[in-house]
Amino acid sequence: MAIYIIRTAFNDGIGSVPFLWPIVKALPWLFLLWAIKFFFSGVSNKSERNMHGKVVLVTGGTSGVGEAIVRDLATKGAQIVLLTQHVLGDPFLVEFIDDIRQDTNNHLITAEQMDMTSLHSIRTFATKWIDNAPPRRLDMIVLCANTLTPSSKGLQSTSEGVELNWQVNYLANFHFLSILSPALRAQPPDRDVRVLFGNCSSYMGGDLLQITQQAQSLGKNANAKPKKAKADEAVAPTKFSPGNAFATSKLALTTFAVAFQKHLTTYKRPDGFPPNIKVLLVDPGYSRTPGMRRWLTGGSLVGLLGYLLTYPLWWFILKSPDMGAQSFLYAAMEEKFSRTEGGVLIKECKQRDFIRTDVLDEGKQKMLWEYSEQMVQEAEKRGATERAKAKKEEEDRKEEAQAEEELKKYKEKVGKKEKKEGRRRSKKSG
């Protein structure tokens, strides 16, 4: 067909080729669409690393970018432990793991239950992990679990009384790594250990003023008379909303990641070797994930209809989950990060500077760390109280059910006895 068209154009002129000019006019537009898609798709990871035998803990690995990371690392032979809120016998989880094992030809894919909305669940798993002698092998932690409450739903809290965005995006990671840090520090000195935080550029819109200003006020003399705050002494925190809660949680996560790297670096190993743990913040960019879809739709059916109608637009300007995973894979495999210091930000497979330089402020890092420790303690106490209350209610229900069952058996027994005596009386009267 192509040879015939070329021969016709050669013999009869270019004008004889059917639909030539419409095609020529459409080519620039097609090239423009391709360029837009290419630009928004981001950069692919070119680094390689032998992942065979390496143990990787992953949160948020059952969907979106996290799933793409798990599939790629599993293909390269890594041993993956999925940390998920699902019960281990959940049909979805069982089928999901079977699919990954078959697709990647890697059977070293397992799961452990750890609900990021529950500090008690996190403590249960992390304590079980570190309560092992000798220490378990641990090469990498990938923290992809993430949530963004739709504005239509308003602010939501966990059963332990913590705002949902703050809990899942930040406090859960703080609590998890605080408990698991001994397992990280116990790894042999020749092991390249990395902790990858899933970050987002929205951290630039967050603020920690409610934490830092509160800590500053607590540090003042309690007997001092309160003075009227000057304009340059205090700034009003941003009005709390789902969007601000998400941005603030990401800012706190960024600040904590930098502080956590310093915490690991200052640790003096008993064997005298230098620290071998690198903390890397990764911004995957905006991707077509379930979380992004939930935010765009506002968690409503009308929003979902609008999303479906405008899907071609989102397909163009949002990355696929596989492309969103590329910066994570770069952070996991790039060889230079085994030699350089951690606490860096990676975006589009390239190391970037922090736009918010206050995340490097050691004073704010300390305030956030102390505030988070106190918050975890208070939330765990509330959670323990709620669990004790629920346990007591369950025991009361069981006792009531048992009492009702005993009463029912007693009535049946009395009824049988009365019926038997009635038969005896009728026989005597006969």
What would the pLDDT profile of 284-300 be if each residue is shown by its tens digit?
Answer: 999 999 888 888 888 78
Q: How far apart are CA 13 and CA 21, in angstroms?
A: 13
Q: Which of 115-129, 184-198, 237-251, 355-369 has the lowest mean pLDDT?
A: 237-251
With respect to residue 76, please indicate whether it lies within any of the assigned structural domains. yes
Q: How far apart are CA 305 and CA 290, in angstroms?
A: 15
With respect to residue 17, please indicate whether it lies within any of the assigned structural domains. no
Query: Going edge to edge, which strands form the sheet with 109-113?
Result: 109-113, 79-84, 55-59, 140-143, 193-198, 277-283, 344-347, 350-352
pLDDT for 400 equals: 85
Q: What is the pTM of this model?
A: 0.83
With respect to residue 263, please indicate whether it lies within any of the assigned structural domains. yes
Q: How far apart are CA 114 and CA 39, in angstroms?
A: 37
pLDDT for 104 equals: 94
Q: Which of 8-22, 145-159, 311-325 has the lowest mean pLDDT?
A: 8-22
Q: Which of 131-145, 319-333, 360-374, 405-419 has the lowest mean pLDDT?
A: 405-419
Query: Any idea what the Cα angle at residue 218 is, between residues 215 and 224, rounded to 5°?
Result: 145
> 83: domain range?
55-218+236-381
With respect to residue 352, please indicate whether it lies within any of the assigned structural domains. yes
Sort 367 into a burial class: Cβ within 10 Å, 0-12 / 13-18 / 19+: buried
With respect to residue 7, please indicate whether it lies within any of the assigned structural domains. no
With respect to residue 396, please indicate whether it lies within any of the assigned structural domains. no
Q: Which two tokens stand for residue 405?
A: 């069952």
Residue 226 confidence class, pLDDT cut points 50, 70, 90: very low
Residue 408 appears among annotated catalytic residues: no
pLDDT over threshold 60, residue 217: no
- Residues near 326 by beta carbon (within 8 Å), at least 6 away in sequence: 42, 43, 44, 45, 284, 349
pLDDT over threshold 50, residue 222: no
Average pLDDT on 230-237 reads 49
pLDDT for 407 equals: 81
Residue 232 confidence class, pLDDT cut points 50, 70, 90: very low
Number of domains in the chain: 1
Q: What's CA 321's distance to the chain center, in Å? A: 14
Q: How far apart are CA 382 and CA 160, in angstroms?
A: 6
CATH for 180: 3.40.50.720
With respect to residue 224, please indicate whether it lies within any of the assigned structural domains. no
Q: Which of 54-58, 250-254, 409-413 has the lowest mean pLDDT?
A: 409-413
pLDDT tens-digit series, residues 363-414: 999 999 999 999 999 999 998 888 888 888 888 888 888 888 888 887 777 7
With respect to residue 102, please indicate whether it lies within any of the assigned structural domains. yes
Of 76, 250, 319, 347, the active-site residue reads: 250
Pairing of strands 79-84, 55-59: parallel
